[in-house]
Structure 1
Amino acid sequence: MFNLLIGLDAGVVPADRMFEYTDDRVRRELGDEYELRIERLPALSMPEIGDERFEQVATLGRILSLRATGRTHRFEFEPNPRLKPIPVETVRELADRLNVDPEGWEFRRTHWAVKQAELFEVLFEYVAGAPRSIDRTYSPSAAVQFPTDTPLDSKLVAVMMPFDPNFDVVYETIALAVEDIGMECVRVDNIWEHDHVMGDVLSLLWRARIVVADLTGRNPNVFYETGLAHALPRRTILLTQNADDVPFDLRSIRYLHYGIGSKARKMLQEQLSDRLRTLSSSRQL
């Protein structure tokens, strides 16, 4: 999910414009403590399309604070200085994949919406020029070579986690969540198709439709594999037992925080099943 702020340049949004154009399911998921949950989501702030008072660009950033004050909500938006502004026409071109109605009034109405879409993945694919199918061509001279002649497996979920038996019970939980939605998962250390383990990693990432990456313990192999998954790009779900193990640059991406007790693992199974179901039904691969 991500925050979409349109026409909100003064740090204030009327209460009746909060959550306009937001699906009811998203509102329920945010719950009563939505202020805290919203602050964890990436944000895209832009003027109303056609408003000549403002430069027609959208800015990526995050919400530092949000609080209800009577008939308004006051907030602080912090732009990311490392990310260039995006022309609003580009945002409109990507509207369908960002769950915005390109033909409606949403781009021309001041409001705050929360959208069920992976903002950075959509923008990365657009900027990188990746097509919407598996037929992207990679240079044979590249240091990392994927098996581009291998087809995508629409039922395959790749699981990246430390090569440690302590994670076996976590993998069993992930496998149950994947099974719940009729897909299949493979943990990279459970396959041996190539002489070099990296060959198995590249093959699995290329064939998988969805990647689940457990960042617990800041394992460098998992970080590297997660970077490859994002670069392809593949729809990626991040997990961790410790929020401090999520690198700063990834904290704007939603992740599932879990425990290893039986009740906590049951909750992880349910949350992961819901997330997998959403991604597997998405039109974007």
Structure 2
Amino acid sequence: MYNLAISADENAWKKPRGFHDYEASRVAHEYTTNTLQDKYKGNLQALTENPTLFAYEQGSTSPAQVGWITKVEQLQGTVRIHYEMQPDFPTVPVEKLTELSWDLDFGRLEIYRTHFAVKDVNLLSVLIAAKIVEKRQTEKGRTAEAANEERPPAIQIKPEVFRIPAGHPDPKLASVMMPFGKEFKDVHVALQQACKDAGITLERVDNIWQEDAIIDDIFSLLYRSTYVICDFTGKNPNVFYEAGIAHTLGRTVIPIVQKEDHVPFDLRHRRYQLYEDSKEGLASLQAAVTNRLKTLIALKG
């Protein structure tokens, strides 16, 4: 878990410690999941438990910094955030923030708005994987606790519609859930190359026949995959269903789509990759998915 503090004020985070004011409606609400909104509603002081990434709105060349919230005060419609920077941490350049926007769970256009969000992401693990922070720098004090943030306990699933295959997810396997129409042939080819460039294999369920029922093949593929690419283009209900299964299984889902309004409403707060079905657009999609996979592989160690 981490806090994301964005400000349009170029002097907001220049001091090693200080305070900054936000409109109350912009704190732990915007670009924050409903679950986390509920967690911090009426309990803003709990924000002091999370490491914080202090950044500036798009257009600023000032780097972001990592630190902590030391105190939270609220008076009518204003929330005052008291902060303290982590003294031995390097800054995070703007271009690096852009590169890590998916891993840090930045919403689309989020960096353009002053607000204070809470993200269900281990900030220090992302910075270590990106080689911005060295692991030894996170092994003392508060950063040690945050770097080793415990994941919630795994849930036990006992599906009745399909059976659970033997074995464990393959760290070198990705699957793609997408419409099977011929108009998606070139998209599939681009995704296959993206996975190959990242050093993993991509499979699609229409190339598999292991079970008597297609739903068992779908579930088996999702279960065996570590990464699941879902193309929401066309609002295909099967893809929505398969994405839901992947999320429930705890697989890493990479959403892609040609039109923003084809992304389900309850998933629009999460990052997705927009692409155009053209030679240039598919080349960009391929590069983006390759980079995303390489980052995820690094994060998993």
Cα deviation digits, residues 27-79 of structure 1 (max 9, x gap): 315459x9x99xx8259xxxxxxxxxxxxxxxxxx95962xxxxxxxx23478
Question: Following the alignment from structure 2 to structure 1, what is the Cα–Cα distance between the partners of residues 55 and 96?
Answer: 22
Q: Following TM superposition, by how much is the alpha carbon of 1:8 offset from its aligned partner in structure 2, in angstroms?
A: 7.2
The verdict on how the C-alpha distance between 1:222 and 1:10 changes in structure 2, with shifts beyond 3 A counting, is: same
CA distance in 2, matches of 1:150, 1:8: 51
Structure 1 residues 195-206: aligned runs within 5 Å: 195-206=212-223
Determine helix, strand or coil for the equivalent of 1:281.
helix
Residue of structure 2 in register with 1:103 after alignment:
140
2:106 aligned residue: 41
Map 1:72-83; keep pairs closer than 5 Å: 75-77=114-116
Q: Point out the more displaced range, 160-169 or 219-228.
A: 160-169
One-letter amino acid of the counterpart of residue 281, structure 2: A
Q: Distance in 1 between matches of 2:196 and 2:91?
A: 27
Q: Which runs of structure 2 are paired with 1:202-281 in the superposition (5 Å)? A: 202-281=219-298
Are the equivalent residues in 2 in contact too, given 1:153–1:209 (CA < 8 A)? yes
- Structure 1 residues 65, 263: CA separation in 2 closer, same or farther (over 3 Å shift)? closer
Match of 1:10 among 16, 21, 33: 21
- The 8 Å contact of residues 138 and 148 in structure 1, kept in 2 or not, is answered as no
List aligned pairs for 1:132-151, cutoff 5 A. 137-139=156-158, 142-151=159-168
Structure 1 contact 209–234 (Cα < 8 Å) conserved: yes
Q: d(CA) in 1 for partners of 2:116 and 2:123? A: 22
Secondary structure of the 1:237 match is strand
- What is the alpha-carbon distance in structure 1 between the residues aligned to residue 163 and residue 125 of structure 2? 26
Aligned mates of 1:283, 1:79 — CA distance in 2: 22
Which one-letter code corresponds to 1:168 in the other structure?
K
Structure 2 distance, partners of 1:95, 1:270, is: 24
Query: Sequence identity of aligned pairs in percent?
Result: 32
Alpha-carbon deviation of 1:9? 6.9
Distance 1:182 1:95, change over 3 A: closer
Alpha-carbon offset, residue 191 of structure 1: 1.2
TM-score by length of 2: 0.60
Unaligned runs of 5+ in 2: 7-17, 24-53, 67-88, 129-137
| 1:118-171: CA deviation from partner (whole Å, max 9, x where unpaired) | xxxxx9x944x21xxxxx7533xx334452522322211111001212111100
- Quick one: distance in 2 between partners of 1:220 and 1:147? 23
Q: When the two structures are superposed, what TM-score results if normalisation uses the length of structure 1?
A: 0.63
Within a 5 Å distance, the mapping from 1:111-130 to structure 2 comes to 126-127=151-152, 129-130=153-154
Separation in structure 2 between the aligned mates of residue 2 and residue 172 of structure 1, nearest angstrom: 37
Alpha-carbon separation, structure 1, partners of 2:175 and 2:252: 10
Distance 1:29 1:20, change over 3 A: closer
Question: Does the aligned pair in 2 maintain the 1:158–1:208 contact within 8 Å?
Answer: yes
Letter of the 2:115 partner, please give it: E
Contact 2:3 2:118 in 1 (8 A): no
Separation of aligned partners in 1, 2:90 and 2:254: 21
Once residues 248 and 197 of structure 1 are traced to their aligned partners in structure 2, the CA distance between those partners, rounded to angstroms, is 28
Residue segments in structure 1 that go unaligned for 5+ positions in a row = 44-61, 67-74, 81-85, 108-122, 131-135
Aligned to 1:194: 211
Q: How many residues align?
A: 222
1:159-174 alignment runs, 5 A limit: 159-174=176-191
**Does the residue aligned with 1:279 lie in a helix, a strand or coil?**
helix
Note the C-alpha offset of 1:204. Answer: 0.3
| CA separation of 1:78 and 1:8: change in aligned 2, threshold 3 A | farther
Offset from partner CA, 1:215-262 (integer Å, 9 cap, x none): 101100000100111111001111000111112211121111111111
1:28 maps to 95
Alignment equivalent of 1:19, drawn from 56, 61, 64? 64
